[in-house]
A and B are shown apart, each in its own frame.
Chain A
Amino acid sequence: MASLARVRLAGRAMPRTHLASSPALALSRRGVATTADTTQLQGALPESATEPFTLKLHEDSFQSYLCDTPSLDVSITKDELLTMYKQMQTMRRMEMAADALYKAKMIRGFCHLAIGQEAVSVGMEHGIDPNDRVITGYRCHPFAVLRGGTIKGVLGELLGRQAGMSNGKGGSMHIFTPTFFGGNGIVGAQVPVGAGAAFAQKYRGEKNCTFAMYGDGASNQGQVFEAFNMAKLWNLPTIFVCENNNGRSSNTQYFTRGDRIPGIQVNGMDIIAATQAVKYARNWAVDQDNGPLLLEFVTYRYGGHSMSDPGTTYRTREEVQRMRSTQDPIRGLQRYLEEWGIATEQDLKKLDKEAKAEVDKAVEEAKALKDLWTDIYYKGTEPTSMRGREREEVPLLLNAPLTSLRRLGVSGLSVERGWCRVLGVGA
């Protein structure tokens, strides 16, 4: 026992204290830079919003394993940069709206936000083809919107309303579009599913790939390694994407964990680097038919793990604050846009306002009706009537000497929601 304990301690205690005490150190231990403001403009800026020009990424944007790093020269247009900015702002606004709705107790259950990680979701969308597939874990809201969903659909789902993308039946972790195989609440379970999707793409001869995403924590699930092996064995166009928001594992170089699968570690706080890496991965798996690739985005989540976690178990408040003020992906892009003369502060404020208005509108629309009466029976086999109880009927129950009801508090029976039960359904 004692020796076992020592082995464990040696493996664990060190990295954790480092991570907690010094964010800068913690991040440098993770390899690439996580700055969001080190990309340089090369040459002159064109007049036209759609004419490409060249940017130079910081030399520490990537680190590779068994392959070359992506080029540091990026060709991009003003329009694209502005779209990125607007999308990142909108995604953050949406997550903030979810945060507020959760705090107002309108969203219940489990809700995981990706505030701080916008450069990954938006950057990915700018590097991939509309027909590529994406599958991820439970931190999934931005992907659902960017892959063809709507903000109203996402918020409606969180609220459990009919407007939700899964009719409000699933909630935060259960959102799908034709090219997005959803959030997944079982940590790691989505990764082999992504390999299967990539197999189907290859089998059908589609010029597409699947991005199977997971967290640093999820990377320790056995089935992630099983998926790596299958993808390499069958040379599948699967891009395994690890969103590393401060992982603790025996090997924290997540991009090297695919054994014979090459990998790239990416500055996940700079959207330009993120997009460049995704383009590289697509080219690798689809155009070059090189098989799977690992992408590790080194990123940072400002909030806690979920709405019920203050987020200071693994990190200090100061660390989070420092990341927010120095390495924020949105502020980083904002700085580029202003510095390079692509947009003024006023221009960007206008975009911010539009983003906010779009989200505010979606919040209102999403709050529409709850959907209780569908998806209970196979179509055509419904009973003639289904009954429910309304708030006014609840006191009937409370009149009884319900000691045990009280013991359970409001959670025991749904007194707080004014609903009590369905009579006769399925009986």
Chain B
Amino acid sequence: MNVYQAVRDAMATAMAKDDSAVVFGEDVAFGGVFRCTMGLAEEFGKERVFNTPLTEQGIAGFGIGMAAMGHTAIAEIQFADYIFPAFDQLVNEAAKIRYRSGNSFNVGALTVRTPTMAVGHGGLYHSQSPEGFFMGAAGLKVVIPRSPIQAKGLLLGSIRDPNPVIFMEPKILYRSAVEQVPIDDYELPLGKAEILVPGQDLTLLTWGTPVYHCETAMHVLSNPAPELESLIPQSMRGVKIELIDLRSILPWDMETIVESVNRTGRLVIVHEAGMTGGVGGEIASEIQKRCFLKLNAPVRRVTGWDVPVGLQYEKFHIPDAIRVVDAMIETLTY
């Protein structure tokens, strides 16, 4: 299965077990722009999988109302770039309703799925990574999977989590990442990062698409092509990098990251969103506080530039393997 099939599989699994589960959004009854809801309307009926008008604020509010009534509401916002019209409903209503109703209401059954990150040539309104905007929205959870297995398990976890979750799917991975995904019902835990490659010299923390650029960067560092050899210090060959996929952005797994950085003494954070106001800043600040005496180098961030995403040269905008290599060398040789 690839990611969009895994996402579909998760929704089908949730709907099969939960009669109250409903999927809605712009064009989802036709399968959606990225095919994530293909055939769901045929399988579960048009009452449970339906198109909404073009109204993101409405979609979010509608989902909140439904979830407040105890229904499992799985909403799709067609691109993460279009989540901003729904921002008020998500931040002021979904995130706060449990608190402001003294726990008499909650919208834990609401999950908002949305495709995120760069796609190659999306430009200003189809390549943004807005996860950072939700960092301050206490009451919401934000999850970003890296692969099909992760997507299915984390989405099922999100749908069943007792809090409203924004589930952001890196759109370039929909088709490119393929794995043997269990067809059973399984959940992966929210709020838990995963150590993909253990190491002791530097912690490389990321989520979503850049996981793959980081993996590439680690190969380049330990085994550079002959033409690059002269640029990469010899001392880098045997370095052991610890690669971590954060998976849950809010709340983020402080325990795992702190434990890792206390071991490695170095942290490089990679994300596609711009640096200013990005998730990396929040993590860096907390890590310097908690690991201050163990740090051998400043926490380094490799991110998109602080400009709108232009139409051309998107590859220059997002953090790629070479920029990650640069940052790792600098941090290791600080």
B216 touches A220 (CB 8 A): no
Contact with A along B193-226 (1 / 0, CB 8 A): 0000000000000000101110110011001111
- Which residues of chain A come closer than 8 Å to B53, judged between CB atoms? 217, 220, 249
A414 touches B315 (CB 8 A): yes
- Which residues of chain B come closer than 8 Å to A5, judged between CB atoms? 45-48
Number of residues in A with C-beta < 8 Å to the partner? 64
Query: Of B82, B124, B312, which one neighbours A160 at CB under 8 angstroms?
Result: B312
Contact with B along A271-315 (1 / 0, CB 8 A): 000000000000000000000000000000000000000000100
A221 touches B223 (CB 8 A): no
Contact with B along A102-122 (1 / 0, CB 8 A): 000000111000000000000
- Which residues of chain A come closer than 8 Å to B87, judged between CB atoms? none
Which residues 385-402 in A have Cβ within 8 Å of B in the complex? 388, 395-402
Query: Of B19, B81, B85, B216, which one neighbours A221 at CB under 8 angstroms?
Result: B85
Residue of A nearest to B320 (CB): A421
- Which residues of chain B come closer than 8 Å to A221, judged between CB atoms? 54-57, 85
B22 touches A13 (CB 8 A): no
Q: Shortest CB–CB separation between residue A388 and chain B, in angstroms?
A: 8
A173 touches B54 (CB 8 A): no
Query: Of B46, B211, B305, B314, which one neighbours A426 at CB under 8 angstroms?
Result: B305
Complex CA–CA separation, A189 to B84 (angstroms) = 11
- Which residues of chain B come closer than 8 Å to A110, judged between CB atoms? 122-123, 125-126
Given contacts A221-B85, A411-B176, contact A1 B19 (CB under 8 A): yes
Complex CA–CA separation, A1 to B44 (angstroms) = 14
Which residues 334-381 in A have Cβ within 8 Å of B in the complex? 370-372, 376
- Which residues of chain A come closer than 8 Å to B213, judged between CB atoms? 404, 412-413
- Which residues of chain A come closer than 8 Å to B19, judged between CB atoms? 1
- Which residues of chain A come closer than 8 Å to B47, judged between CB atoms? 1-2, 4-6, 8-9
Is B189 part of the binding interface, using a Cβ–Cβ cutoff of 8 Å?
A: no
Complex CA–CA separation, A411 to B213 (angstroms) = 12
Is B321 part of the binding interface, using a Cβ–Cβ cutoff of 8 Å?
A: yes
Complex CA–CA separation, A221 to B213 (angstroms) = 38
Is B277 part of the binding interface, using a Cβ–Cβ cutoff of 8 Å?
A: no
Complex CA–CA separation, A222 to B219 (angstroms) = 50
Q: Shortest CB–CB separation between residue A162 and chain B, in angstroms?
A: 10
Given contacts A396-B225, A399-B226, A422-B316, contact A169 B311 (CB under 8 A): yes
Q: Shortest CB–CB separation between residue B31 and chain A, in angstroms?
A: 9
- Which residues of chain A come closer than 8 Å to B225, judged between CB atoms? 395-400
Complex CA–CA separation, A423 to B322 (angstroms) = 8
Q: Which of A9, A171, A174, A313 has the most CB of B within 10 A?
A: A171
Interface stretch, picked from A67-75, A180-188, A234-242, is A180-188
Complex CA–CA separation, A4 to B191 (angstroms) = 34
Q: Which of A160, A189, A408, A412 has the most CB of B within 10 A?
A: A412
A413 touches B54 (CB 8 A): no
- Which residues of chain B come closer than 8 Å to A178, judged between CB atoms? none
Q: Shortest CB–CB separation between residue A166 and chain B, in angstroms?
A: 9
Which residues 35-63 in B have Cβ within 8 Å of A in the complex? 45-48, 50-51, 53-58
- Which residues of chain B come closer than 8 Å to A403, judged between CB atoms? 215, 219
- Which residues of chain B come closer than 8 Å to A370, judged between CB atoms? 312
- Which residues of chain B come closer than 8 Å to A8, judged between CB atoms? 47, 50
Query: Of A185, A217, A396, which one neighbours B54 at CB under 8 angstroms?
Result: A217
Given contacts A12-B50, A170-B123, contact A400 B224 (CB under 8 A): yes
- Which residues of chain B come closer than 8 Å to A13, judged between CB atoms? 46
Given contacts A168-B312, A409-B176, contact A376 B307 (CB under 8 A): yes
A407 touches B311 (CB 8 A): no
- Which residues of chain A come closer than 8 Å to B51, judged between CB atoms? 12
- Which residues of chain A come closer than 8 Å to B54, judged between CB atoms? 187-188, 217-218, 220-221
A412 touches B176 (CB 8 A): yes
Complex CA–CA separation, A396 to B82 (angstroms) = 38
- Which residues of chain B come closer than 8 Å to A388, judged between CB atoms? 316
Complex CA–CA separation, A4 to B73 (angstroms) = 13
Contact with B along A87-111 (1 / 0, CB 8 A): 0000000000000000000001110
Is B20 part of the binding interface, using a Cβ–Cβ cutoff of 8 Å?
A: yes
A396 touches B172 (CB 8 A): no
Q: Shortest CB–CB separation between residue A409 and chain B, in angstroms?
A: 5
Q: Shortest CB–CB separation between residue A244 and chain B, in angstroms?
A: 14
Query: Of A12, A174, A409, A413, which one neighbours B315 at CB under 8 angstroms?
Result: A413
B55 touches A405 (CB 8 A): no
Complex CA–CA separation, A395 to B311 (angstroms) = 25
Query: Of B27, B82, B228, B316, which one neighbours A421 at CB under 8 angstroms?
Result: B316
Q: A185-B123, A372-B313, A401-B219 are in contact. List 11 more A-B contacts (CB 8 A).
A: A1-B47, A110-B122, A170-B311, A220-B53, A221-B54, A221-B56, A313-B27, A400-B220, A401-B223, A412-B213, A423-B322
For this complex, 26 residue pairs linking A to B, each with C-beta atoms less than 8 Å apart, are: A1-B71, A108-B120, A169-B312, A170-B311, A171-B123, A171-B124, A187-B82, A188-B54, A217-B53, A221-B85, A222-B57, A372-B312, A372-B313, A388-B316, A397-B216, A400-B216, A402-B220, A404-B211, A407-B177, A407-B212, A411-B172, A412-B176, A413-B321, A414-B315, A420-B322, A421-B320
Interface residues of A (CB under 8 A from B): 1-2, 4-6, 8-9, 12-13, 108-110, 160, 168-171, 173-174, 185-189, 217-218, 220-223, 249, 313, 370-372, 376, 388, 395-405, 407-409, 411-414, 417, 419-423, 425-427
Interface residues of B (CB under 8 A from A): 19-20, 22, 27, 30, 45-48, 50-51, 53-58, 71, 81-82, 84-85, 119-126, 172, 176-177, 209, 211-213, 215-216, 219-220, 223-228, 305, 307, 310-316, 320-323, 326
The 5 residue pairs across chains A and B that have the minimum distance between CB atoms: A5-B47, A399-B225, A171-B311, A414-B315, A108-B121
